[in-house]
Amino acid sequence: MIKFFFLVVFLVSNNIFSILEIEILKGSDNLSKVAFVPFGVEDGIEESYGGQISKFIEGNMLLFGEFENLDESEMLSYPSSESDFYYRDWKIQGVDYSLIGKVNSVNSLGNLNISYSLFNINRRIKILEGEIIGSENNLEGISKIISNRIYEQITGLKGIFDTKLAYVVNSDPETYQICISNIDGKNEQILFTSKAPIMSPDWSPDRKKIAYVSFENGLAEIFIQDLISGQRDSIQALGMTNSAPVWSPDGKSLALVVSFSGNPDIFLYSLNNKKLTRLTNHYGIDTEPSWSPDSKKIIFTSDRTGSPQLYEINTKSKRKKRLTRDGNYNARGRYFPDGKSIFFVHGNDGNFQIATKKLSSRYIETLTSTSLDESPAISPNGNIIIYATKDGTNGYLGGITLDGKSRFSLPVKNGSVREPAWSPLLN
Amino acid sequence: MRRLFMEPIGIFILAMICQVYSCAANVSDSVERMQYASVAGEEYLQEEKLDTNLGDKVFFEFDKSSLDAEDKNLLEQYLPFIKKAKIVRLEGHCDERGTREYNLALGERRALEVRDFLIVKGVSGKKIRVVSFGEEKPLKSASNENAWAENRRVEISLY
């Protein structure tokens, strides 16, 4: 009966405004300058398509403060094919890379063939060319694919422009929502609304489901929600509190925390046979599990020595290793995609900040300078960390790029936003 | 030097107590959960609350769950009322500092500390319902020492 008390709003698309919008706070010092030349358009095709595509790509590439652009009004020429392209027009403007392209018609059904070329101005060579066939109704999606390819070509890192974020919004003290959106905050969808707290969203590796904790029945319970059907299933684990679910890299099980009468330990939960297997057994608090990229280890927080510190446990041998020793608060660790470093929340003189550490070294590097930072999540290419922080009474998301150290924020218009979870890449 | 030796012994005793509790829990967990679910949530909170005129909260230090003399004194004053009550609800909370999932566990531990004190004083464990909200339901939303001190609490209510 209680369940009916809560309003279930599934996939209510809200395109009119987005809750999150990225603001660049500090770009890196020596940003590469990119010219996104409006794409040429074949006769007979809507002329604005060319400009729309180059603007979408420009918007993506500038999203996290990793590049600067050459404004369209300052361009000396607007080439759309290699034969019209002159390096000197771009060299003189201090441009490092130029992107040109052309939109051609495939058939009368609105299918387009979009070809593009990327030039390295300093080396005077074409470094990428490609073409994509897609619908005129999906210019934004096509632009994301092109953005991913040129980002990968320039930085050597996977492009992440078609990934998504999940997060918890607390718009007033009585309203908790779990939402997903594109990484630029657009296309926000509310997955579930409740009067009781919601915590700990985590994406399944196939991006089709999200696991999270909901208090809708009065205590912490883990739910898995299917993003297509909207169906929600609770995990009937025993114990008082079930929390902190994280999907294994193969998507077949969850690591989670079960508290049998007040003793939280890490368990593995098989989604096939619903079997619960104990991983840790200690009277202290063991929580916040997360898988290593090779699935062999799980990092977790434990206060077994008196203060929260990070440990890892081998899921087969059950051998444990302490990972942090400096400071009296190191918690909610996650592995980098390469498995060689970790990032976590580091408490230092009453400030809680996002920090990283190589597994091979003792040295902890603090990345953020605000004081109430938590819930860090990493982009699938390992270059961007977003985290929750607080300004006055409102929570918002902050972000940092690891290579160039540019900083950005995703402010929220109403209430507080927290616990960002970054989706995996599309396969 | 003596402290150094005493601490491991204390921890060992604590471990033994926890073991006893968790063994008991394994048997009755499903029952306990069903009982809890039937009284938890919004409907449960609309039931008539027993008025005691006592303070309804005990407070804690950062990242700690131990009760001080003042807390214990307050809890002892509850004992005659608890005899008349059907249910004792203990709700553990934390301040916003540190991580959310760790705080969920810490809030639970605070509520259990209160439960264990009441059990030692003769209250039946069956009467007691424990829930933690971690840092999800602060009383004060400001980020300063005063707000944090008020938010690190266990709320006691009798039904």
ipTM rounded to 2 decimals:
0.90
Nearest CB to A345; choose among B24, B99, B131: B99
Nearest chain A residue to B45 by CA: give it: A218
Nearest CB to B101; choose among A243, A261, A372: A243
Q: pTM for the full model?
A: 0.87
Note whether residue A136 is domain-resident: yes
CA–CA distances in Å: residue A118 to residues A104, A125, A146, A234, B31? 18, 9, 10, 49, 65
- Condensed to tens digits (0 to 9), the pLDDT of residues A33-92 reads 999 999 999 998 999 999 999 999 999 999 998 999 999 999 999 999 999 999 999 999
Task: Verify that A150 and A173 share a domain, yes or no.
Answer: no
Task: Verify that A199 and A263 share a domain, yes or no.
Answer: yes
pLDDT above 90 (res A169): yes
Task: Verify that A136 and A211 share a domain, yes or no.
Answer: no
Distance from CA of A238 to the nearest CA of B (A): 6
Q: Which residue has the higher pLDDT, A87 or A3?
A: A87
Choosing among A7, A212, A215, A242, which should be mutated to test the B contact, i.e. which has the most B CBs within 10 A? A215
Distance from CA of B117 to the nearest CA of A (A): 14
Burial A157-190 (b: 16+ CB within 10 A, else e): bbbbbbbbbbbbbbbeeeebbbbbbbbbbeebbb
Q: Which residues, at least 6 apart from A353, have a Cβ–Cβ distance to it below 8 Å?
A: A345, A346, A366, A367, A368, A369, A370, A371, A373
Q: What is the mean pLDDT of residues A267-279?
A: 94
Q: Which domain holds residue A78?
A: 31-155
Q: Which of B90, B152, B93 is nearest to B118 (CA)?
A: B90
- Condensed to tens digits (0 to 9), the pLDDT of residues A109-119 reads 889 999 999 99
Distance from CA of A404 to the nearest CA of B (A): 27
Q: Residue A211, class by beta-carbon neighbours within 10 Å (0-12 exposed, 13-18 middle, 19+ buried)?
A: buried
- Helix-then-strand count for chain A, H and E: 3, 32
- Condensed to tens digits (0 to 9), the pLDDT of residues A194-230 reads 999 999 999 999 999 999 999 998 889 999 999 999 9
List residues in chain B touching A: CB distance below 8 A. 14-15, 18-19, 21-22, 24-26, 29-30, 32-33, 36-37, 39-44, 63, 96-102, 104-106, 108-109, 112, 130-134, 136-137, 141-143
The phi and psi torsions of A312 (rounded to 5 degrees) equal: -125, 150
The residue among A96, A122, A155 that closes a domain is: A155
Q: Which residue has the higher pLDDT, A100 or B84?
A: A100
Task: Verify that A124 and A169 share a domain, yes or no.
Answer: no
Does A257 contact B101 at a Cβ distance shorter than 8 Å?
yes
Task: Verify that A181 and A145 share a domain, yes or no.
Answer: no
A-B contacts at Cβ under 8 angstroms: 143
Task: Verify that A185 and A81 share a domain, yes or no.
Answer: no
Q: Which of B154, B68, B41 is nearest to A262 (CA)?
A: B154
The residue among A124, A155, A186 that closes a domain is: A155
Work out the pLDDT band at A10, boundaries 50, 70, 90: very low
- Number of structural domains chain A divides into: 2
Does A261 contact B22 at a Cβ distance shorter than 8 Å?
yes
Q: What ranges in A82-189 are assigned the alpha helix state H?
A: 87-91, 139-155
The Cα–Cα gap between A197 and A174 comes to 9
What pLDDT, on the 0 to 100 scale, is given for residue A329? 97
Task: Verify that A73 and A208 share a domain, yes or no.
Answer: no
Indicate the domain borders of chain B: 1-28, 40-158
Task: Verify that A337 and A411 share a domain, yes or no.
Answer: yes
- DSSP letter at B78 equals H
What pLDDT, on the 0 to 100 scale, is given for residue A160? 96
Task: Verify that A10 and A35 share a domain, yes or no.
Answer: no
Distance from CA of B33 to the nearest CA of A (A): 7
The Cα–Cα gap between A310 and A331 comes to 6
- Do the beta carbons of residue B15 and residue B22 sit within 8 Å? no
Task: Verify that A41 and A180 share a domain, yes or no.
Answer: no
Q: For chain B, 159 residues long, give each residue's pLDDT as a single digit of tens.
A: 444 444 544 444 444 444 433 333 332 333 333 333 333 444 555 677 888 888 899 999 999 999 999 999 999 999 999 998 999 999 999 999 999 999 999 999 999 999 999 999 999 998 999 999 999 999 999 999 999 999 999 999 999
Task: Verify that A125 and A86 share a domain, yes or no.
Answer: yes
CATH of region B40-158: 3.30.1330.60
Nearest CB to B99; choose among A257, A331, A392: A331
Note whether residue A286 is domain-resident: yes
Does B37 contact A331 at a Cβ distance shorter than 8 Å?
no
Task: Verify that A236 and A343 share a domain, yes or no.
Answer: yes
Work out the pLDDT band at A411, boundaries 50, 70, 90: confident
Nearest CB to B100; choose among A239, A260, A375: A375
Give me the CATH number covering residue A275: 2.120.10.30
What pLDDT, on the 0 to 100 scale, is given for residue B1? 41
Choosing among B16, B23, B90, B102, which should be mutated to test the A contact, i.e. which has the most A CBs within 10 A? B102
Q: Which residue has the higher pLDDT, B50 or A371?
A: A371
Please give the share of chain A, as a percent, with pLDDT higher than 70: 94
The residue among A112, A127, A155 that closes a domain is: A155
Quick one: chain A helix, strand, coil %, rounded to 5? 10, 45, 40
Give me the CATH number covering residue A59: 3.40.50.10070
The Cα–Cα gap between A265 and A283 comes to 8
Nearest CB to A217; choose among B21, B40, B101: B40
Nearest chain B residue to A390 by CA: give it: B143
Note whether residue A121 is domain-resident: yes
Note whether residue A26 is domain-resident: no
The Cα–Cα gap between A75 and A284 comes to 63
Note whether residue A427 is domain-resident: no
